[in-house]
Amino acid sequence: MISAFINQIPVPKDIPLPLPMPEWVLIVVLVFSFLVHILFINLMIGSSILTFWYEIRGKKNNDFDRLAREIAATITVNKSLAVVFGVAPLLSINVLYTLYFYSANALTGNIWISIVPWVAVSFLLFYLHKYSWDRLSDNKPLHLSILGVGILSFLFIPFIFLTNINLMLFPEKWGEINGFFEAMTLPNVFPRYFHFITASMAITGFFLAWWFGRKQFKTEGVFNNLSKNWIRKQMLNLALIATGMQFIFGPLLFLTLPSQGITWTLFWVIMGGVTIAIIVMVQLWKLLNDEGHLLGKRFFIVAGMFVLLVAFMGTGRHLYRESTLQTHKEMMAERTAAHWEAVRLAHENLLLPPVDGDVAIAVPGQNLFQTNCAVCHAANTRLVGPAMAEVAQIYKDNLEGLKKWIKEPGRKRLDYPAMTGFPHLSDQQLTEVSKYLLQEQWND
């Protein structure tokens, strides 16, 4: 036997139930479903910002107002898919990292739970914005403000998630932070955030280039002057610029990662991602210079590259989490095992504290009295119920009456709460406890 001392790192016990599936299956589900979820979140945030941008420009040129409206229409679907696709990764992270995730949630609880009303209200604002477009067409400041509040919410809510997902990785910080805002200022939250918002713009640009480039999308009757080609080009430009900016935010994120989780495997996975990102940049550039085929074969190659890029980054993210938590997971497993060993000993009554002096209770009924009656009755004073001295007087020669009362009491005193019945006590137990009650000298 060895003793382990842990300094200022909380080591809880794990949940003593097996995982529902092999761990690697759960990890695959987590990483994959999370990426799908974040794709729609990216589209929801990026599109809402673009809607705002084009609606402002629409004040001068009506075509932009219509473009904004077309983009806004995609948010309705994307935001709902974002929520519904969030459930699978939430479920998976809950089951894989129960102790870490829930602890981080509790430490930032007020803000964490505010996600629920907050997202609901932002969604309502987006509906209000969408369905009041015509009615508020001559009151653009109001219409834009509704959207603006919605976007500000969308821009803040990711902070809550990022803060939690970051906090759960560092149990050694759990004892140090007081509330959400302190957790938010832990290193790495802000770099993660900018990395994420920039990715939103890149993904949205790329998605909208496809959306407006589809054959089914007709510009006639929608726009006066905007051409399909112009829109596609704008969107691809956005994708290119945003991807380029990741070469600033990406390294920033990597350099601010607390070093305890960085391994060579992680480094090479990230480098693999970076290599693909460079290819994506080159291909996007070529695509932009290839006026005639903005949605041709090359477009789909880039799309494939994007998927690969995201897969690399998603894997890297998971590797970092695992290696950061590895030591702590081992400590937790050790402690859990030690705990259940102690539970086993306790079941054999081996851990009882030494008992001092007279323990034997000779009078039958006294034990029953202690565990049942004494809860509410004292010898000479009123507790929940009346004093025993008083009761013993009332039932002095009436053992059967007392037994009957204990079994199924009624209510005699209106200034007292009604007594609980004891129908589960056997007749012998009732006799014992009643005899004890009547024979005991309560006035001593």
Partner 1 sequence: MDFPLFHLDFMGNRMLVAVIAITHVIINHALAVGFAPLVTLLEFRGYLKHKTNPEEGKAWDEMARKLLFIAFIVTTTAGALTGVGIWFAASLANPASLGSLIRVFYFAWFTEWIIFVLEVVFIMIYFLTWKKSGESSLNKKKHILFGLWLSIFSWLTMAIIVAILGFMMDPGSWVEKKSLFTGVLNPLYIPQLLFRTPVAMMMAGTVGLMISAYVLKKNNKWRNEILRYISFWILLWMPVAAAGAFLYYWHIPRAMIGNLPVALGTQQFQDWYGSLVIVAIVVVAIGFTIGILGTIAPRRLPKHLLIIPVIASFLFLGTFERLREFIRKPYVIGEYMYANGILVEEYPLYQQTGILMHTPYSAITEITEENKVAAGEAVFTIACSRCHTTHGISSVVRKFERMYASKEPLNAEAMKTYIKSMHNVRHYMPPFPGNDAELDALAEFVAHQQKRPRKLDGPQVKGVDVKEIVYEINKTDK
Of 69-88, which residues contact partner 1 (CB under 8 A)? 76-77, 80-81, 83-88
Closest CA to 4 of 367, 239, 306, 331: 331
Cβ atoms of residues 215 and 189 within 8 Å: no
Of 135-174, which residues contact partner 1 (CB under 8 A)? 174
Which residue, 191 or 385, has its beta carbon nearer to partner 1?
Answer: 385
**At closest approach, how far in Å is the CB of 110 from partner 1?**
5
Cβ atoms of residues 245 and 306 within 8 Å: no
**At closest approach, how far in Å is the CB of 241 from partner 1?**
31
Q: Is residue 10 close enough to count as binding partner 1 by CB under 8 A?
A: yes
**At closest approach, how far in Å is the CB of 323 from partner 1?**
22
Position among 106, 222, 248, 363 found at the interface with partner 1 (CB under 8 A): 106
Position among 22, 357, 410, 423 found at the interface with partner 1 (CB under 8 A): 423
Position among 275, 326, 327, 370 found at the interface with partner 1 (CB under 8 A): 370
Query: Residue 191, Cβ neighbours under 10 Å: how many?
Result: 19
Which residue, 88 or 241, has its beta carbon nearer to partner 1?
Answer: 88
- Residue partners of 253: CB distance under 8 A and separation at least 6: 188, 191, 192, 195
Which residue, 131 or 268, has its beta carbon nearer to partner 1?
Answer: 131
Position among 95, 266, 277, 309 found at the interface with partner 1 (CB under 8 A): 95
Of 312-341, which residues contact partner 1 (CB under 8 A)? 334-335, 337-339, 341
Using a 10 angstrom Cβ sphere, with 0-12 exposed, 13-18 middle and 19 or more buried, the burial of residue 444 is: exposed
Which residue, 164 or 198, has its beta carbon nearer to partner 1?
Answer: 164
**At closest approach, how far in Å is the CB of 184 from partner 1?**
13
**At closest approach, how far in Å is the CB of 278 from partner 1?**
35
Contact segment (CB under 8 A) with partner 1 among 38-46, 242-250, 305-313, 368-376 equals: 368-376
Which residue has tokens 């460079």? 278
Which residue, 16 or 221, has its beta carbon nearer to partner 1?
Answer: 16
Torsion, Cα 158 163 168 169, to 10 degrees, reads: 100
Of 11-40, which residues contact partner 1 (CB under 8 A)? 11-13, 15-21
- Residue partners of 118: CB distance under 8 A and separation at least 6: 153, 157
Q: Is residue 414 close enough to count as binding partner 1 by CB under 8 A?
A: no
Position among 42, 48, 74, 108 found at the interface with partner 1 (CB under 8 A): 108
SS (HEC) of 398-415: CHHHHHHHHHCCCCCCCC
Q: Is residue 300 close enough to count as binding partner 1 by CB under 8 A?
A: no
**At closest approach, how far in Å is the CB of 255 from partner 1?**
28
Contact segment (CB under 8 A) with partner 1 among 4-12, 54-62, 63-71, 317-325 equals: 4-12
**At closest approach, how far in Å is the CB of 91 from partner 1?**
6
Query: Residue 299, Cβ neighbours under 10 Å: how many?
Result: 21
Report which secondary-structure segment, H or E, holds 220.
none
**At closest approach, how far in Å is the CB of 270 from partner 1?**
30
- Count residues near partner 1 (CB under 8 A): 96
Q: Rounded to an integer, what distance in angstroms lies between the CA atom of residue 361 and that of residue 242?
A: 80
**At closest approach, how far in Å is the CB of 108 from partner 1?**
6
User: Would you list the DSSP string of 269-321?
Assistant: HHHHHHHHHHHHHHHHHHHHT-GGGTTSHHHHHHHHHHHHHHHHHHHHHHHHH
Position among 34, 123, 207, 405 found at the interface with partner 1 (CB under 8 A): 123
Q: Which two tokens stand for residue 33?
A: 């479903």
Torsion, Cα 338 341 347 351, to 10 degrees, reads: -60
